[in-house]
Structure 1
Amino acid sequence: MALNGDSGADDARRSALMDAAAAAEAASADGATDAVLAALKDMVLPLLQQRAKPVRRRDNEPRPQTALLGVHARLDPADQDEILAAMDPATWTACWVLALLSRPAGAPDEWLTAADRLCAVADADQLQLVAAQVHHFADMVVATAAAAGRPAAALQPLRSLVLRFSADGSTLSPAHAQFAAQCLATGRYLYATGVLDRDVTVFSNKFGVTYLDHLLYHYYGAQILAGLRRYGDAEAFLAITISAPISPPSLSQVEAYKKHVLLNLIVRGKIAPASRLINETTLHTLKTIGRPYEHFARAFESGDVNALQTTAEQLRAIFAADANEGLVQQVLMAFRKRQLARLPNTYVSVPLAYAERVDSDFMASGVTTEGLLQQMIDAGELQAQLVYRSPEAQPVILFRDTKLTKRHVGALSAKIDAVRLLNERMIALDRAVGMSREYQVNRLYQSTGAGSMLSGRGGLAAVMAETDLDEDVIQDSRSMAAEYYRNDESDEMED
């Protein structure tokens, strides 16, 4: 009985599929390649229709994928080239995957060319239809590239296969982990970023993937991101790896936890609290196994150069056995940067000689204090300038404080408001004074060079004594002064 109630249409699709399967099996037994080709094409369409509109299988009824695989299993490998030449890979993706899986890789270069052609135009629906075989196909791509002596030749078809497995690239495919592992093995880190930058949000075991695929993809991806110095993204990938619900934890999770501790020190300077998604038993196991790394982290957090140096020397053999020596070197470089980054908290400027006493390249990285400071300045990690007073003298480090806190911004805003209010008051006061009678009269006498009529030494008497003025002018001035004082006295009486 059909799930959707349309039993007639379901029976028609089932009948068409089984008839095509029977015809393909008969044709393959007779060696008729054209008949096999026609039957295979007839099988793909009912399969895709059934994916879009699922039906309940009857008892003892073979799965559609099983029928399709059975036909390919009975084909003569010599017929594969003829079948592939007659089929468009974009239209018959499922047939191509199965044909390439059953085709011997006696000529690796030719097989890789065909695989690349398929993956470049593969149809997502058909890839998901044969998802279990996609996993084997990805393995065969890697093995064939290795046999050809060109491991990097597997990257292009695997990348296309991963991106075309779903419309938006958000579905975890059976080839994700294999692609990340191959990029890591060949050192082609940048080639993986187009895949790693896409968030994987869809995880379904119906596509033939397990939690191990999910775990390994993020574990390999984290190592690639760390190699690209994208430590924050690498830390996030490792956090996903550690939180995988596997108990007891896998070896990959144990190694991921060790690297996660080191990346915490680079990104935050301390070990971040564990995610709540991690099982307590799993977390306890990881902490027990990773105890040397936590001991190293405590030495880092203490800020004591001697303690960190001693601990690093004691654990050198462990770091080497875990293949974490390179990451430890980056942690020690991060420690040096943090020591230098503390200087602006106390000083406005310091000579380079003092910074060299604070810094300590005890792991012999070869990076001098001056070179490290310049790297930090160029990367925007330190707001400072190296000032060279003469070619022979050592430079002076001049720090620029560009850190504005909310308190600083609030205080600055308050001062700006106070200045704005004061400016408004000054404008109003200037307007009031400029329109007053006293100011206008005083301005009149100043414009005539007579000084202030209110001053004791200047005024009308001095002007009259030193200047031969017309009597009418003098009389007018006296009248103006008398009128001003009368008005001023009447104003005071009214007040």
Structure 2
Amino acid sequence: MNSVEAVVAQIQGLSGSGSTAQDLVHLHTLLKQSDEFLSSDSGRAASLLSQLDPCIHSLGYLYILEACTSDPISKDQSSEIALSIAGFVDACKAEQIRLAPDKFISVCRRLKDQVLLVETPIRGVAPMLTAVRKLQSSSEQLTTLHPDFLLLCLLAKCYKTGLSVLEDDVYEVDQPRDFFLYCYYGGMICIGQKQFHKASELLHNVVTAPMSTINAIAVEAYKKYILVSLIHSGQFSTSFPKYASSVAQRNLKNFSQPYIDLANSYSTGKISELESCVQTNKDKFESDNSLGLVKQVVSSMYKRNIQRLTQTYLTLSLQDIANTVQLKSPKEAEMHVLQMIQDGEIYATINQKDGMVRFLEDPEQYKTCRMIEQIDSSIQRIMALSKKLTAMDEHMSCDPLYLGKVGRERQRHDFEDFDSVPQKFNI
């Protein structure tokens, strides 16, 4: 094909209403051969896009759109380009664009770049979510576009939209960097929604993921993981689990000393020591954009100290609570107690007349229909996860590459063990 017109004609002929899967594969081959030609004549190609229907001719439209947007785009053109790409993403057929995933990813990332250039990330959230769903072969697959989508959600503060993707269980990962960014951005979105348990899980995944060298994503995730752990559970252990990489165990602490110092101060239960540590490292926390989260750590210590009081006292005055947990006034103590009651962190009543707080037992009897449904849902999910892990284990045990590596490792260890026997006797 020696002209853009010929390319368009082939696209119309091979991806029309009566086209077959073989036709699309043949068209894909032709388009790959014409890729350089389309890029060199992108201006002419752009003028012919109107002859194609993005819904019917998705594959060909994708190739031409990618060629048309490959040149540098000015800020004045950004809105128009972003609108064109968003329209294509919404209309295109998933089975066609999956034939050229790299092209589709490239076009979608240009959409992200353009909305960030004009500082309107919210315009890219809905199209990028659509792109993720169309690129996925199943909800269990983590695509390269997941981190880009979550980044736009973060910048646009569309946290609930980001959570819709984070609810999926991921089992298929193509690129390690995608996994690191997905978990880090996902953790930040959960922090924005104050879902600290989920945030802790995602950040933990980054910290303990296999890595051959230390990377900036893991370092930042470890810092946030410390803070989130303190807020969520009131404690943090500097010991890494056995499955964490040796690289992480050796290096992450060296990059996070102010945060480890904060965790050590938190463990004392003394608010004065914690605030002193915050003040000492304030510049570092600010440069890491973590000061807001650090302030939530300080606030959580007041809550932890109030929770400890519920284990000792049945009733206590607001003045005594303020004195014990080092709050400035009974009014401030009342605000903390009310917030904790609202969040379900403690069970108590406040007598406004005499300023007394009565601590109560957990009213949940674990026999309501709602609680039974919740428990049943958790059991079903665990059973499904168990089946999935069993299937993955069986698949891995049949993988020739895995078996070959295990065989080599076993031979090496057997040789080493045999060689060590005389050394032991010599000693």
- TM class by shorter chain equals 0.7 to 0.9
Query: CA offsets, 1:417-472, max 9 Å, x none?
Result: xxxxxxxxxxxxxxxxxxxxxxxxxxxxxxxxxxxxxxxxxxxxxxxxxxxxxxxx
Alpha carbons of structure 1 residues 387 and 46: separation in structure 2 relative to 1, 3 Å? same
CA distance, structure 2, for counterparts of residue 248 and residue 33 of structure 1: 46
Q: What residue is the counterpart of 2:362 in the other structure?
A: 402
Q: What residue is the counterpart of 1:171 in the other structure?
A: 141
Is residue 2:363 matched to residue 1:371? no
Q: What residue is the counterpart of 2:349 in the other structure?
A: 385
Is residue 2:46 matched to residue 1:80? yes
CA distance, structure 2, for counterparts of residue 258 and residue 93 of structure 1: 44
Residues 42 and 67, structure 2, Cα contact 8 Å, conserved in 1: no
Alpha carbons of structure 1 residues 114 and 375: separation in structure 2 relative to 1, 3 Å? same
Mean Cα deviation higher: 144-153 or 189-198: 144-153
Is residue 2:170 matched to residue 1:200? yes
Q: Return the offset for 1:383.
A: 0.5
Is residue 2:93 matched to residue 1:128? no
TM-score between both structures, scaled by the size of structure 1: 0.65
Q: Return the offset for 1:167.
A: 4.6
Residues 47 and 64, structure 1, Cα contact 8 Å, conserved in 2: no
Q: What residue is the counterpart of 1:69 in the other structure?
A: 35
Q: What residue is the counterpart of 1:10 in the other structure?
A: none
**What's the secondary structure of 1:160's corresponding residue?**
helix
Is residue 2:5 matched to residue 1:26? no
Q: What residue is the counterpart of 2:248 in the other structure?
A: 282
Residues 127 and 134, structure 1, Cα contact 8 Å, conserved in 2: yes
CA distance, structure 1, for counterparts of residue 55 and residue 80 of structure 2: 19
Residues 352 and 370, structure 1, Cα contact 8 Å, conserved in 2: yes
1:159 is matched with which residue: 129, 148, 152?
Answer: 129
CA distance, structure 2, for counterparts of residue 267 and residue 351 of structure 1: 26
Mean Cα deviation higher: 270-279 or 246-255: 270-279
1:224 is matched with which residue: 189, 199, 204?
Answer: 189
Mean Cα deviation higher: 232-241 or 66-75: 66-75
Alpha carbons of structure 1 residues 360 and 91: separation in structure 2 relative to 1, 3 Å? farther
Q: What residue is the counterpart of 2:399 in the other structure?
A: none
Q: What residue is the counterpart of 2:198 in the other structure?
A: 233
Report the AA paired with residue 214 of structure 2: P
Residues 14 and 23, structure 2, Cα contact 8 Å, conserved in 1: no
CA distance, structure 2, for counterparts of residue 310 and residue 376 of structure 1: 25
TM-score between both structures, scaled by the size of structure 2: 0.75
Q: Return the offset for 1:222.
A: 1.0
**What's the secondary structure of 1:126's corresponding residue?**
helix
Residues 214 and 247, structure 2, Cα contact 8 Å, conserved in 1: no
Alpha carbons of structure 1 residues 94 and 396: separation in structure 2 relative to 1, 3 Å? same
CA distance, structure 2, for counterparts of residue 37 and residue 170 of structure 1: 32
Is residue 2:82 matched to residue 1:112? yes
CA distance, structure 1, for counterparts of residue 25 and residue 318 of structure 2: 73
2:296 is matched with which residue: 330, 343, 364?
Answer: 330
**What's the secondary structure of 2:98's corresponding residue?**
helix
Quote the RMSD (CA, aligned, Å). Answer: 3.1
Q: What residue is the counterpart of 2:152 in the other structure?
A: 182
**What's the secondary structure of 2:217's corresponding residue?**
helix
Report the AA paired with residue 293 of structure 1: Y
Q: What residue is the counterpart of 2:12 in the other structure?
A: 38
Q: What residue is the counterpart of 2:231 in the other structure?
A: 266
Is residue 2:294 matched to residue 1:350? no
Q: What residue is the counterpart of 2:112 in the other structure?
A: 142
Q: Return the offset for 1:319.
A: 1.4
Alpha carbons of structure 1 residues 81 and 176: separation in structure 2 relative to 1, 3 Å? farther
Report the AA paired with residue 86 of structure 2: D
Report the AA paired with residue 272 of structure 2: N
Residues 39 and 68, structure 2, Cα contact 8 Å, conserved in 1: no
Q: What residue is the counterpart of 1:492 in the other structure?
A: none
2:269 is matched with which residue: 299, 303, 309?
Answer: 303
Mean Cα deviation higher: 129-138 or 118-127: 118-127
CA distance, structure 2, for counterparts of residue 243 and residue 326 of structure 1: 25
2:61 is matched with which residue: 80, 96, 106?
Answer: 96
Report the AA paired with residue 9 of structure 2: A
**Long gaps (5+) in structure 2:** 367-427
**Long gaps (5+) in structure 1:** 1-24, 52-61, 205-209, 407-495
Q: Return the offset for 1:370.
A: 1.0
Specify the structure having the higher radius of gyration (Cα).
1
Q: What residue is the counterpart of 1:247 in the other structure?
A: 212
Report the AA paired with residue 211 of structure 2: I
Residues 123 and 165, structure 1, Cα contact 8 Å, conserved in 2: no
Q: Return the offset for 1:226.
A: 0.5
Alpha carbons of structure 1 residues 128 and 276: separation in structure 2 relative to 1, 3 Å? farther
Alpha carbons of structure 1 residues 45 and 295: separation in structure 2 relative to 1, 3 Å? same
Q: Percent identity?
A: 21
Q: Return the offset for 1:336.
A: 0.7
What is the correspondence of 1:461-476 to structure 2 with a 5 Å cutoff? Answer: none
Query: CA offsets, 1:169-195, max 9 Å, x none?
Result: 332222111111122122222221222
Q: Return the offset for 1:354.
A: 0.3
Q: Return the offset for 1:237.
A: 1.1
Q: Return the offset for 1:357.
A: 0.6
Alpha carbons of structure 1 residues 147 and 331: separation in structure 2 relative to 1, 3 Å? closer
Mean Cα deviation higher: 397-406 or 324-333: 397-406
CA distance, structure 2, for counterparts of residue 100 and residue 257 of structure 1: 40
